[in-house]
Amino acid sequence: MKDPIFQLCDQVRETSFALHRHLRHGHVEKVYENGLAHRLRKQHLPVIQQHPLNVLDEDGTLLGEFFADLFVDQHLVIELKAVRTLVDEHVAQLLGYLRASRIEHGLLINFGSPKLEVRKYALSDPL
């Protein structure tokens, strides 16, 4: 049986593809954020939009916060983009969020190109 986090990622990926097939590319990021959150909630998944997550120093000191586009089931950070192509800075942004918040799993999803891009990232040691 598949690990629950991978099942969740598959569910988000399939839902993203369905949304992209419906809307296609060309909308602003917020439209995709709202659409994906709506469709995931219809599947009874707990989804928080623009959820504040703490950025912690290595000793646990609070340094600030960032806002995850979507935070699903208290385990998955989703960073959405609506750009022509993903670049290294987008990957660095998501990995920074994961490291700083000590959350292990994240998806980087780009709705802005004709072909949907979904990339999964996991930190084996989020501390």
Domains and CATH numbers, the chain: 4-122 (3.40.1350)
The stretch 13-29 carries a mean pLDDT of: 98
Contact 77, 68 (CB under 8 A): yes
**Whole-structure pTM value:** 0.93
Residue linked to tokens 């290595």: 58
Neighbours of 51 (CB within 10 A): 16
Phi, psi torsion values for 18, nearest 5 degrees: -65, -40
pLDDT digits (tens, 9 = 90+) for 47-74: 999 999 888 888 989 999 999 999 999 9
For the chain, give the mean pLDDT.
94
Nearest to 107 by CA among 125, 115, 86, 41: 86
Q: Is the sign of the CA dihedral 40, 20, 76, 59 positive or negative?
A: negative
Tell me the percentage of the chain whose pLDDT exceeds 70.
98
